[in-house]
Every structure is written in structure tokens, then in C-alpha cells.
Amino acid sequence: MKNPLELHVTGTLVWYYYICPREVWLMARNLVPDQEDTNIDLGRFIQETTYQRDKKEVSLGNIKLDILRRENGQLVVGEVKKTSKFIKSASMQLAFYLYELKQSGIEAIGELMFPKEKKKVSIELDEALILEIEKVKKEILKILYQENPPKAKKVGYCRNCAYIEFCWS
């Protein structure tokens, strides 16, 4: 296990928190899902082949932004997803990035991008989102400090999960 002082919340962990707390624990320990999973391959392909004109994969501290651009004088952080099916987790991941930037004195707005659906959703950090992000960060840290992963629990996402064999074999 990582040194407890090295454990920190990332956007990916926020994403997984809204889908499955067990995945949060596994990801934080670098127990990576099946990299041959078709959903993972499709996500990589979409990330690499869409929005070619935007600056991609920008790392700032503990956050990794899919897209960063200026639009009408405003900094825009883009998060690319293959489907809007997981819009709550995607919205909170993007809100986390906006929150972390704000904590560093950088104001930005967010845009969820679903190229396959030709859909975009704007996200602006407001007081309600700030409170939810602060609460979620604490809950994620509680999961990370557990010695064992949360028990496997069947949820609607299990069928397409790259960790399916880890949980249900």
C-alpha cells in the first residue's frame, strides 16, 4: 500500500466514487482493471481522435485535464466521455477539477463533451458543488485508508466493468 501521506483524491477517484466505492479502493492501490477491456479501448480511442484542435492531457499537480482552452477570455476545462450514461460521475469529476483549480487561484468553467452523442454540457462551480466536492473528498479518503476494499456489491455498472473478474470470480 502507498504511504498514507501519499494518498490523495484524484478526478478519476471522484468519477469511480459515484459508480462503485470498491473501484475507488482498487484504483488508489494501482490495481488496474483489465486493460484489454473493450470499454477502456473505446475510451482511449475517443480521447485520442476527438477535439484535435484543443490542448489535451494537461497535468497540473494531482489533476489531469482532458482539454484546456480559452474561449471569449474564459478558461474552459473539457472532460471527454464516451457516453452521457454516467453524467453524474462525469459532472462531479469535472467539478472536482474546477474546485482544485479554484483552490490554486484559477477560475475556470467546465464542459462535458460526449463526441459520440454530439452533446456538450456546461458545468460551473457553485456553492452547492463546492460543498458536495468537499464532502466527497472526505468520503474518498475514508475509503482509501481502509485496510481492505469495500465488499463487492452488485450495481448496474458491474456488467460492463473492467474489474468484473476481480469482484465476481
- What is the C-alpha separation between 76 and 69, in angstroms, rounded? 5
- pTM reported for the whole predicted model: 0.82
Q: In this model, does residue 87 exceed pLDDT 60?
A: yes
Name 51's Cβ contacts closer than 8 Å, sequence gap at least 6.
67, 78, 80, 113, 115
49 band by pLDDT with thresholds 50, 70 and 90: low
Residue 157's pLDDT is: 80
Q: Each residue of 94-103: pLDDT tens digit?
A: 999 999 999 9
Supply the mean pLDDT for the chain: 83
Domains parsed from the chain with CATH numbers: 4-163 (3.90.320.10)
5 band by pLDDT with thresholds 50, 70 and 90: very low
Q: Which of 138, 69, 146 is nearest to 109 (CA)?
A: 69
Containing H/E element for 99? Answer: helix 87-103
Q: In this model, does residue 55 exceed pLDDT 60?
A: no
Q: Each residue of 10-30: pLDDT tens digit?
A: 999 999 999 999 989 998 888
- What is the C-alpha separation between 143 and 17, in angstroms, rounded? 10
